[in-house]
Amino acid sequence: MSCNAKKDPNGTWRIQYRWVDWTGKNRKSQKRGFQTKKEAEEWYAHFLSQQSADVTITLADFWKVYRDDMEPRLRKTTMMQKDYVMNDKILPYFGNMPLNEITAPKIRIWQSKMIAQGYKPTYLKTINNHLSCVLNYAVKYYNLRINPCHIAGSMGKSKADEREYWTVEEFKKFSDAVIDKQDAWIGFNILFWTGMRLGEMLALTVGDIDFEEGTIQISKSLTRVRGEIIVSEPKTESSNRIVTIHQELQDRLQEYINSLYRAKPTTRLFENRTKSFFEHELIRGVELSGVKKITIHGCRHSQASLCLQIGYSPLEIARRLGHSKVTTTIETYCHPSLDAQKRIAESLGKADRGEENAM
């Protein structure tokens, strides 16, 4: 490792330097714009501490090392979420602390502060996982002896409480209430009858719908971050899927597409609509129809529950929803209705009485 500070004609300083990165590869570069030679040399010393990344490096500096390595490997939206959680929830508490001084008791104190903020249990779990992920990286690549998060234990919980969902009758009441806004009406019809995620629906284009086969191709997801539209691959590999749609939904979609101005295969179905639009319409429709309030994601739960009640297996439902694990479908989305429970009880009663065709 070496460096050489030089003064540029404009009076500022630049530093040329060589270093060995964490993979063992020799690299060279330079940085300009320092006001003094001392400032340039101090920057270089700080840079080296980041590259060597021994366990005395602060979490804030180590986060930069982690980020530089992981950013090319992660989806842009995933990296943006990590940035927000680290900068807003973790670095203000641990940022100036060396890695080897982040202990289980200190983590538990931090967890208590987070819990006191009143965040949802699932979000608390997410925050904790971000810290644990960075420390796991330090253990794997930079010889941190142990991840103190494993000793401290987690906070929150990974699964939300069971979500409310609509029956077909409830959805039809809601649908009738929002029919005056065509894009809201067709959007909720898509969400309820296919179970796709909101981001997947917002990314749909005319060309994704095959009316001859009666299918919708789901191959992308749309989100907005700070006003920027980001279209990326779906959540998981299994999320790339083809969903079948019944004839009535096909007819509604065809009518809606015909109403779009000069629609092309690349035209998005909801070009000028956002998540907040559908959230507002959900509230409006619930108030007008009198059905119970659910979240937009509750439409996905409604589809899973409906398919389960009709008699489809968790594996078939998992494929329709784009889950990589059937257990996710069973544990999170399959809500057997009270009617289904009553039918089970009736069948058991018949078996108890020795009646034929009990099961």
Residue 328: pLDDT band with limits 50, 70, 90: low
Domain end (from 122, 152, 182): 152
pLDDT surpasses 90 at 321? no
Strand partners, 19: 27
Side-by-side strand order, sheet with 26-34: 2-7, 13-20, 26-34
Mark 331-351 as b/e (b = at least 16 C-beta within 10 Å).
Answer: ebbbbeeeeeeeeeeeeeeee
Sole residue written with tokens 């968790």:
314
161 occurs within a structural domain: no
pLDDT at position 81 is 87
- Contact predicate 335/165, CB 8 Å: yes
With 0.75 as the threshold, say if the pTM is over it. Answer: no
**95 token code pair:** 């940022």
Whether 257 contacts 209, CB under 8 Å: yes
What is the three-state SS of 185-219? HHHHHHHHHHCCCHHHHHCCEHHHEECCCCEEEEC
- Amino acid in the structure at residue 84: Y
359 pLDDT more than 70: no
> What per-residue string of b and e applies to 60-80 under the rule 16 or more CB within 10 Å gives b?
bbbbebbeeeeeeeeeebeeb
Residue 111 above 70 pLDDT?
yes
Residue 159 inside a domain? The answer is no
User: Is 244 in the same domain as 279?
Assistant: yes
Angle (nearest 5°) at CA 340 between 336 and 346: 145
Whole-number pLDDT of residue 110: 97
Residues 299, 173 within the same domain: yes
Both 122 and 222 in one domain: the answer is no
Same domain, 48 and 65: no
- Type of residue at 13: W
| Confidence category of residue 329, pLDDT binned at 50, 70, 90 | low
* pLDDT grade for 344, boundaries at 50, 70 and 90: low
For the cut 60, the answer to whether the pLDDT of residue 205 exceeds it is yes
Average pLDDT, the chain: 86
Residues 280 and 331 in one domain: yes
Q: Is 180 exposed, middle or buried (0-12, 13-18, 19+ CB in 10 A)?
A: exposed
- What is the model's pLDDT at position 17? 83
Phi, then psi, of 95 in degrees rounded to 5:
-55, -45
Is the pLDDT reported for residue 352 higher than 70? no
Residue 282 and residue 208 in one domain: yes
Range of the domain at 307: 168-338
Domain-located, residue 72: yes
For residue 112, is it within any domain? yes
Verify that 215 and 139 share a domain, yes or no. Answer: no
Instruction: Give pLDDT, residue 66.
Output: 92
The verdict on residue 79 lying in a domain is yes
Both 73 and 15 in one domain: the answer is: no
pLDDT, tens digit (0-9, with 9 covering 90-100), for 7-30? 999 999 998 888 776 556 787 888
In a domain, 71, yes or no: yes
Where does the pLDDT of residue 234 fall: very low under 50, low under 70, confident under 90, or very high at 90 and above?
confident
The mean pLDDT value for 280-291 works out to: 97
* List of residues 6+ apart from 92 with CB closer than 8 A: none
The tally of domains found in the chain comes to 3
Distance CA 124, CA 117 (A): 10
For residues 201 and 215, give the distance between their C-alpha atoms in angstroms, rounded to a whole number: 14
Residue 228 in tokens: 């920027």
User: How many helices (H) and strands (E) would you count in the chain?
Assistant: 16, 8
Q: Can you give the CATH number for the domain in which 285 is found?
A: 1.10.443.10
Q: Are residues 148 and 186 in the same domain?
A: no
Pick the last residue of a domain from 98, 122, 152.
Answer: 152
32 and 114, same domain (yes or no) = no
Question: What CATH number does residue 79 fall under?
Answer: 1.10.150.130
Is the model more confident about 104 or about 161? 104
232 within a domain of the structure (yes/no): yes
Last residue of a domain, one of 152, 179, 202: 152
The better pLDDT of the pair 228, 330 is held by 228
Which range, of 121-130, 146-155, 304-313, averages the lowest pLDDT? 304-313
Residue 349: inside a domain, yes or no?
no
Say yes or no: 181 and 114 in one domain: no
Residue 131 pLDDT level (bands cut at 50, 70, 90): very high
Q: Is the dihedral of CA 276, 244, 289, 294 positive or negative?
A: negative
Confidence at 141, pLDDT banded by 50, 70, 90: confident
The tokens describing 87, both together, are: 């900068």
- The per-residue pLDDT for 235 is 66
